[in-house]
A and B are shown apart, each in its own frame.
Chain A
Amino acid sequence: MSNTSAIKTIRKGQRTTRLVVLLALLSAGSIAGMLLSDGLWDVIFFLLATLPLIFGAWQAYALRTTSIKKPARKLEK
Chain B
Amino acid sequence: MQANSQRSRWFRLNIWLHRWTSLVATLPFLVLCLTGTVLIFHEEIDDALGVVPVSQGTADSQHHALAIGVAKAQAAFPNDRVLSVGLDPDHHPGVQLIVTAPKGDTSFDNAQLRFADLATGELLGELDPAKTLTGFLLELHAEWFLGPIGELIGALIALLVLISLLSGLVVYAPYVKRIAFGVLRRGRGTRLLQLDMHNFIGAVVLGWALVVTLTGFLLGFGTVAIGIWQMTELGHLREFAERMEPVNANQPPVDVDRALAAAQSAAAPGWHVQSVIFPGTDFSTPRHYTVLLGGSEGLDERMFGVVIIDAATGEVALVPKVPIYLKAIAVSEPLHFGDYGGLSLKILWTICTWLTLFITANGAWLWWDRRRRRAPKSVGAEA
Contact = CB atoms under 8 A, between A and B. Distances in A.
Given A9-B177, A25-B207, A56-B182, A17 B172 contact: yes
Contact of A31 (B208, B299, B344, B351): B208
Contacts of A50: 348
B373 interface: no
Interface string A6-17: 000110111011
Interface of A: 9-10, 12-14, 16-17, 19-21, 23-28, 31-32, 34-38, 42, 46, 49-50, 52-53, 55-56, 59-60, 62-64, 67, 71, 74-77
B193 to A, nearest CB: 11
A42 B342 CA distance: 11
A77 B182 CA distance: 14
B345 A46 contact: yes
A26 B207 contact: yes
A11 B240 CA distance: 65
A46 B181 CA distance: 23
A75 B344 CA distance: 36
Given A52-B205, A56-B200, A12 B299 contact: no
Contacts of A77: 175, 178-179, 192, 195
Contact of B207 (A10, A23, A35): A23
B15 interface: no
B178 A52 contact: no
A57 to B, nearest CB: 8
6 nearest CB pairs, A to B: A27-B207, A13-B177, A59-B182, A24-B207, A56-B204, A24-B206
A63 B178 CA distance: 14
B169 A17 contact: yes
B183 interface: yes
Given A20-B203, A35-B302, A60-B200, A9 B178 contact: yes
B183 A75 contact: yes
Interface stretch (B52-60, B272-280, B333-341): B333-341
Contacts of B201: 56
A60 B205 CA distance: 14
Interface string B180-204: 1111111110001001000011011
Interface in B132-187: 169, 172-187
A74 B210 CA distance: 32
B210 A38 contact: no
B185 A13 contact: no
